[in-house]
Structure formats: structure tokens, C-alpha cells
Structure 1
Amino acid sequence: MAEISAQLRDPLSAFAVAGKVAIITGASGAFGRGCALTLAAMGGRLCLAAGSAGELAEVADEVRALGGECVTIQRRPDSLEDAEAILKTALDAYGTVDQLVIASGYNKAGFIQDQPLEEWEAVMNANVRGNWLMAKAVGSWWIDQKKRGKVLMMSSVRGRHGNVSGYTGYCTSKGATDALTRVLATEWAKYGITVNSIAPTVFRSKLTAWMWSEDEVGQATRARSLARIPLGRLGEVEDLMGMALYLLSPASDFCTGQIMYVDGGLTAG
């Protein structure tokens, strides 16, 4: 009889993240909050970063209510100084970092002929520049320390598909996120650092709450989105957390450079 490995004897052990230290930017948003609560429930130790002090405190309270451990910093990765300050907060608290979840982002819809350059640049800065800066700060520390790590970024099906709603900023930024995921994965594989992204379709968040409303615009937009999703519903943040846990745990050690679509089948058709 062939030897049965420890992981095959205990498959759930591959998803263990207890004691691991995660930095989560955009921690007050739906995806960042979901990752924070999921990792806290699994025994992770967290450094939560966001721009809103009040919303950040609320997420920290939820984490602690689950028995989780966290520190916070009211900061977005708008500059390298910001990114390094977020990293320093985690290192001062825990002495190390194992996981980086870059969940901060922004969208401002506008048709290209009408949208001011400043709005487009704001979307690109939040969704691309911030990712690059945060990855640079934490990845450089991992490489200097000869330490393995896991990076998880937030993409979208809009990195692959266009949109009729004036998304030249958002779609372009998510396409860039996909490219950044792949190139960092290939650059950093030799250091034992994995880099992946989750790409959902529309899921419920503060930014998309209007789509669940009963007004005419919300109903029309929701109907148009639902028509393209084979599973017949829009997403909830809980739908993303299984994939997030996989990509942040040892279960995904041989998975890197991937854009993981969690989209109800939208990209399959």
C-alpha cells in the first residue's frame, strides 16, 4: 500500500492559517472586511488599514468579537510612505507578515468623452498604483528577510470584459491588476512568494448597494447583470471567502499568477 501523506490524511490542515499575520488594506470595504472576519475566525492575526477611522474601528470590533487579534492604521496605500507605514504597523505589533490582502479600491463611472482626466486618474491610482506600492513595500521586506509570503489582490470580471456603463477607468484598472498579478507571480516565484487575484462579478457591497434597491435604475442594472450570470443571482461577499482562504493558506502553495473568477458562471458563457 502506498504511503498516505499527512495532508491527505487531514485535508483541512492545508487550510490552516492560525497564527499567521495578514495585512489587509481596504479593510472597511466589503471584501476587506470579509477577509478580516474569515482570517480572524481561523485564528489569524491582523493589521487592518483603511481611510475611515470610524469604519475601521467597527471592523476591528467585529474581529475582536470573534476572538481575533488585530491592530489598525488609518491609512490608504496612496504613497510609498503610506505603504511602508502600514507594513511597519504590522511589524511593530507582530514582528512578521505572512499574507498581504490588497482590498483597497475605487470606482467612478464616466464615459470617456465626458469624464475628466482627474477622475480616471483617481480610479487608476487607487486600483493600480496602490496595489503596486503595497506589493512593493511588503514584497521587498519578504525578499530581504528571505521569507515566503502570499499576496491576494482584488480584480474583477471587468478586467476581462468591457462594460456599457462608462467603465474605462475601472475596466482598465482591473486589466492592469490582472497583468500585475501575473508578472509579480513570475518575478517572485523564486522567492517562494505567491501572487493571485480574485475576480468576482457584481457582489453586494456599500458601492453596489444601489443595485439591490427597487428604484428604476437599480432594477434595470440588476436585471442586465443577472441576464449574464448562469447561476441566476448576484454575489455576496461570503461567496468569495472560500477562494480567499484557499489563496491565503498552504492549500494554494502550487497556485500562483492566477485570476480566480468567482462569478456565477459569467465568464464561462
Structure 2
Amino acid sequence: MTLTNPLDMFDVRGKVALITGASGAFGMVAARVLAGAGCRLVLVAGNASALSDIAQECRAGGGEVTLVNARPETEEICESLMQQALAAYGALDILVVASGMNKVARIDEMAPETFAAVMDANVTQSWLLARAATKQMKAQGTGGKIVLVSSARGLLGHPNGYTAYCASKAATDGIVKALGCELGPTGITVNAIAPTVFRSPLTAWMFEDTDAAKAVRDGFLARVPKGRLGEPEDLAGPLLFLASKASDFYTGHILYADGGYTAG
């Protein structure tokens, strides 16, 4: 095999990417990366104002963007999202599921409804989106890339009220592995990016220069071989890899963006 330009393997110019949770921390990273790499985007989120902001940013850089103000809460909505991508650009090549939620409470203090809500947002909705995308990609007959967002907590427990979140991300990992096996012959790859703590509005307090933040941060960093917390750009490379031809032989994988946290 001869590669005159190995970077061609990462070329996603002109591909159509649908990103749910596009107004969230990882969703915005995905939008910036794929827009910058030349994808045509369908950005989906429930927060209309934040969705508009990230779309404006992508367009300012020359990106082609279609907006859908919705949450993938039902089969009908998920099917509609695929149809909107088809109507806008004629195809769907990449699905990035960055939508989801977390509710923290110890098990004896967590309402069953809360547990169910986390499982629905992180598991059922991911499954529905993957199902809808699979149908569309199979109909096109050209393969495709499905990227879910997992977490180091899908592999590891947590002592402070994470039963719903850990269970949901372990289930996400199961979907990825099962679909990797099921869809292997179709040319559709299914993988997940699993970060540990990285900078976002929800974790900004951990980066602050306070005694409380430092205590929590130092305890966490003792487990991270790289010796620092994650930055949004740490997710950019893995996403481009999983969205491009470079990962054609990779499916059913959980790619840990964690500075070595899960290694030891």
C-alpha cells in the first residue's frame, strides 16, 4: 500500500455530520472540529441560544451549518433528524451523539425517576439515534461513522452518587461493542470517545485557584499519569480519527481520552 499523502486518510471535506447536544461542552468541540475540517453540519440541541452561538462560530469560519432546535427524546424525533440531514445535504455520513445528562445523588437519596431520566438521556436516546442513523446509512450503501460519547465512568465506579451515570455509560459501551459486531459487514463503524474530567462549564470549578478546588484536583491528578486535567482540544484528535477513513478498521472500540487514568 502506498500513501502519497497520509493526511488524506483524515479528510472529511464535504461529509455530512449530524451532532446532537451541539450546545454542550463536547458537542461544541465536535462542531468546531468537523466544521474546521470541512464537514457540512446538522447541529442539534435543545438550548436554542447556545445552538445559535456555536452555529455562528462555525459559519464565521466558513462552515456550512443547518440548525435543529430539538432533543432526541423519541423515535419520531430521531427519525426526523436523519430526514432533515437528508433534506439539507442529501446524505448522512457521520453521527456524533454528544447529548446526555448526569444527576448526582447517593442511591438511598436518588428517586427512581431520576435514575430513569439519566438512563433515558444517555442510553435510550443514544440507541434511538444509532438506530435511525443505521437505517439511513444502510439505505445509502456507502457506510458511515457513528460516534457515541461514553466516559471513564463506564469502566470505573465513583464513590459520590454516580450510580445512574456509571450505569448509563457502561450501557453505552455495551451498545458500541454490540453494534460494532452487528454492523461490521455494512461498512458502518461504531465507536465511542470516553473522556475523564476535562474543562467545561460543569467542571470549571475544578480548574479554579482555590483551596477546595486544589484539594479535589490534587486527589484526582494522583491517578492521572499525564498529571493534568483534560482540555477540549484533547478530544479533537480522537474525534477526527473516528469520523474519518483513518478509522475504517476500528469498530466497537471505547477510546479513552483520559491522560492514562484508566490504565492504572
Structure 1 segment 119-268 matched on structure 2, within 5 A: 119-215=114-210, 217-268=212-263
Aligned residue for 1:95?
Answer: 90
Task: Give the letter for the 2:49 counterpart.
Answer: G
Task: Give the letter for the 1:165 counterpart.
Answer: N
- Normalised by the size of structure 1, how large is the TM-score? 0.95
Deviation at 1:213?
A: 3.1
1:49 is aligned to 2:44: yes
Q: Gaps spanning 5+ residues in structure 1: where?
A: none
Cα distance in 2, alignment partners of residues 62 and 87 from structure 1: 23
Cα distance in 1, alignment partners of residues 113 and 142 from structure 2: 38
Aligned residue for 1:112?
Answer: 107
Structure 1 segment 7-18 matched on structure 2, within 5 A: 8-18=3-13
Cα distance in 1, alignment partners of residues 214 and 76 from structure 2: 42
Runs (4+) of structure 1 exceeding 6 A deviation are: none
Cα distance in 2, alignment partners of residues 119 and 61 from structure 1: 34
Alpha-carbon deviations, 1:4-50, whole Å to 9, x = none? 51xx2211000000000000000011111111111111111000000
2:108 partner SS:
coil
Partner of residue 36 from structure 1, selected from 27, 31, 37:
31
Task: Give the letter for the 1:263 counterpart.
Answer: D
1:72 partner SS:
strand
Cα distance in 1, alignment partners of residues 210 and 9 from structure 2: 45
Task: Give the letter for the 1:196 counterpart.
Answer: N
Comparing 170-179 and 75-84, the one that deviates more: 75-84
Deviation at 1:211?
A: 2.0
Task: Give the letter for the 1:202 counterpart.
Answer: V
Cα distance in 2, alignment partners of residues 114 and 175 from structure 1: 22
- Normalised by the size of structure 2, how large is the TM-score? 0.97
Partner of residue 66 from structure 1, selected from 61, 64, 72:
61
Cα distance in 1, alignment partners of residues 246 and 173 from structure 2: 22
Deviation at 1:70?
A: 0.6
Cα distance in 2, alignment partners of residues 125 and 257 from structure 1: 21
Deviation at 1:268?
A: 1.3
Deviation at 1:199?
A: 0.8
Task: Give the letter for the 1:70 counterpart.
Answer: V
Deviation at 1:184?
A: 0.7
Task: Give the letter for the 1:31 counterpart.
Answer: F
Deviation at 1:217?
A: 4.5
Comparing 202-211 and 58-67, the one that deviates more: 202-211
Comparing 42-51 and 133-142, the one that deviates more: 133-142
Deviation at 1:178?
A: 0.4
Cα distance in 1, alignment partners of residues 48 and 257 from structure 2: 30
Deviation at 1:216?
A: 5.3
Cα distance in 2, alignment partners of residues 147 and 16 from structure 1: 16
**Any conservation in 1 of the 2:91–2:140 contact (CA below 8 Å)?**
no
